[in-house]
């Protein structure tokens, strides 16, 4: 597990990022990566800590600590250190179907729980993961490996996001014949159209799609099951169906003036942007152009930040991001000790770019929308916001907000992007298959189960657990695949963790 004294001898080092004012000129990934020799020294920093919290995936204080996939982090850190790249890839793939995705978009829960980070800087595990998978493609280790034997069983997976892809990959490895149905024109779900190209270039998804197709997975795009194709047909033609349609109901902001022209959900804004980029490099004009516009983004988190970065790239006149919650501390608070997920203020790539372009942080904390202001033609012209104060309820311990009297202000706004999260699954797919939804509008299952209340129909991912991270989606897909396999074969040799 690395060099015993490596964490003392070597400092944490990560690849550089392109300067914000340069990278906003394009929509490509902008990280530079370390050489193999430098990466080896980073692997040497793994501490032989004995209890590797990095791979624990425990829930502490309602948040995950360590990798939910239980990646064998110390093992492949050591293998990177010793230069055994092929074996490192083998150990990485034991638990993670898609390191080419997670090494780009995961927030690195492994690093937040790294023992080395308790009194110093954590091991650069995410960059080690990137180096392992990209080397595997270069050397041919990641080439297609079709199963030697087929079972004769047929499975339909509805949705091609990370959870659906993980379930499909696992079930295909087992020898089942898998067909993935995707309503969009390209596979990937949120990986394709929810995450901008500068975080995950789409040829990375196409590369993995090609491998999966060579291994025997069939992809059918442009088919919206429940609308274009009846559920009963799939239940007749396939032995099992896995629902992996995501949590795609965006949370709305119901304030006066909501019908103003110029208000969009963030997911629609990001999808149109990426599709236009891929289809025509924006020549078709089928996207929300923020050039010269005052843009207000409602909501923090990754999606809000992605909207900031996208709006800046198109040349927005101004970008403002409204967050309801108070600004998090810059360092861990005493009540947020390691190895809990650090609840600290993060200035992500989009905010960095806004600071570089406009000279200030785009975020306004502890504020909410009171009204959307329209001109005489019904077009958006501004947003009235009000400041909030937060107080803890003595009885419940919950934090409650109230408006601060006299704190209203008006922000100029030609475009508003609502990035306030998602409420759950879209009901039409659930209705088509006759499965029940719970109070959170996720598909109902027994605790710890992926079997719905409809025979032969399973569910996985955000449609099952609600909006979450890519690593959780992959874990759900792996667990659902095992449940499907057991229901078909009476047992399963699929490894979940």
Write out the residue limits of the CATH 3.50.50.60 domain(s) in the chain: 154-248+423-489, 263-418
Nearest to 161 by CA among 197, 114, 194, 134: 194
CA 332 to chain centre: 24
Q: What is the DSSP string of 200-219?
A: S-HHHHHHHHHHHHHTT-EE
Q: Is the distance from CB of 264 to CB of 415 less than 8 angstroms? A: yes
Q: Kindly report the CA angle at 390 between 384 and 395, in degrees rounded to 5?
A: 140
263-418: CATH superfamily: FAD/NAD(P)-binding domain (3.50.50.60)
- Which burial class, exposed, middle or buried, applies to 402 when counting CB atoms under 10 A from its CB (0-12, 13-18, 19+)? exposed
Q: How far apart are CA 16 and CA 23, in angstroms?
A: 12
Pairing relationship of beta strands 380-392 and 399-403 according to DSSP bridges: antiparallel
What pLDDT is attached to residue 49? 86
Check: pTM over 0.85? Answer yes or no: yes
Q: What is the DSSP letter of 240?
A: E
Class of domain 6-139 as given by CATH: mainly alpha
Q: How far apart are CA 422 and CA 287, in angstroms?
A: 22
Q: At what angle do helices 73-82 and 85-93 cross, to 10 degrees?
A: 170
Nearest to 185 by CA among 220, 147, 211, 150: 220
Q: At what angle do helices 470-489 and 162-173 cross, to 10 degrees?
A: 40
CA 315 to chain centre: 26
Cα torsion 99, 471, 187, 423 to 10°: value is -160
The domain 154-248+423-489 having CATH identifier 1.50.10.10: the answer here is: no
Strands annotated E in 130-205: 154-158, 177-182
Query: Per-block average pLDDT, block size 10, for the chain (497 residues)?
Result: 85 96 98 94 90 92 92 95 96 97 96 92 96 98 97 98 98 98 97 97 98 98 96 97 94 96 97 98 97 97 96 98 95 92 95 98 97 97 97 86 95 98 90 94 94 97 94 97 97 85
Write out the residue limits of the CATH 1.10.1060.10 domain(s) in the chain: 6-139
Nearest to 270 by CA among 206, 198, 204: 198
């Amino acid at each position: 597990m690395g060099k015993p004294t490596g964490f003392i001898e070597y400092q944490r080092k990560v690849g550089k990022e392109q300067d914000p004012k340069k990278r906003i000129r394009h929509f490509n990934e902008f990280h530079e990566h370390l050489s193999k020799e430098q990466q080896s020294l980073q692997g040497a920093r793994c501490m032989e800590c004995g209890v590797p919290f990095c791979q624990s995936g425990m829930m502490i204080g309602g948040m995950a600590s360590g990798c939910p996939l239980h990646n064998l982090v110390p093992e492949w850190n050591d293998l990177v250190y010793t230069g055994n790249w092929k074996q490192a890839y083998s150990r990485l793939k034991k638990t993670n179907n898609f390191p080419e995705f997670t090494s780009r978009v995961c927030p690195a829960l492994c690093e937040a729980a790294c023992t080395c980070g308790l009194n110093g800087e954590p091991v650069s595990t995410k960059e080690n993961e990137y180096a392992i998978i990209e080397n595997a493609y270069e050397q041919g280790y990641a080439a297609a490996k079709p199963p030697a034997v087929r079972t004769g069983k047929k499975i339909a997976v509805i949705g091609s996001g990370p959870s659906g892809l993980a379930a499909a990959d696992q079930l295909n490895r087992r020898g089942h014949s898998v067909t993935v149905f995707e309503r969009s024109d390209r596979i990937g779900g949120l990986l394709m159209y929810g995450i901008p190209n500068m975080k995950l270039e789409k040829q990375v998804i196409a590369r993995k799609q090609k491998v999966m197709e060579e291994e025997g997975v069939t992809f059918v795009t442009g088919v919206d099951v429940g609308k274009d194709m009846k559920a009963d047909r799939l239940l007749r033609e396939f032995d099992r169906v896995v629902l992996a349609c995501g949590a795609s109901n965006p949370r709305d902001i119901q304030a006066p003036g909501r019908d103003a022209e110029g208000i969009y959900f963030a997911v629609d804004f990001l999808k149109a942007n990426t599709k236009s980029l891929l289809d025509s490099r924006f020549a078709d004009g089928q996207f929300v152009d923020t050039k010269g516009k005052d843009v207000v983004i409602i909501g923090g988190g990754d999606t809000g930040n992605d909207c900031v970065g996208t709006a800046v790239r198109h040349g927005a006149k101004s970008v403002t991001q409204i967050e309801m919650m108070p600004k998090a501390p810059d360092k861990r608070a005493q009540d947020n000790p390691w190895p809990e997920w650090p609840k600290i203020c993060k200035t992500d790539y989009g905010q960095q770019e806004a600071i570089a372009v406009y000279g200030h942080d785009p975020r306004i904390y502890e504020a909410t929308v009171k009204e959307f202001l329209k001109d005489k033609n019904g077009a958006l012209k501004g947003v009235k916001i009000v400041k909030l104060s937060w107080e803890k309820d003595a009885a419940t311990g919950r934090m409650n907000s109230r408006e601060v009297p006299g704190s209203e202000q008006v922000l100029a706004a030609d475009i508003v992007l609502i990035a306030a999260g998602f409420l759950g699954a879209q009901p039409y797919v659930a209705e088509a298959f006759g499965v029940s939804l719970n109070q959170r509008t996720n598909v109902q299952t027994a605790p710890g189960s992926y079997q719905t209340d409809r025979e032969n129909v399973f569910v996985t991912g955000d449609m099952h657990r609600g909006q979450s991270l890519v690593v959780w989606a992959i874990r759900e897909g792996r667990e659902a695949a095992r449940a499907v396999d057991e229901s078909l074969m009476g047992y399963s040799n699929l490894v979940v963790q």
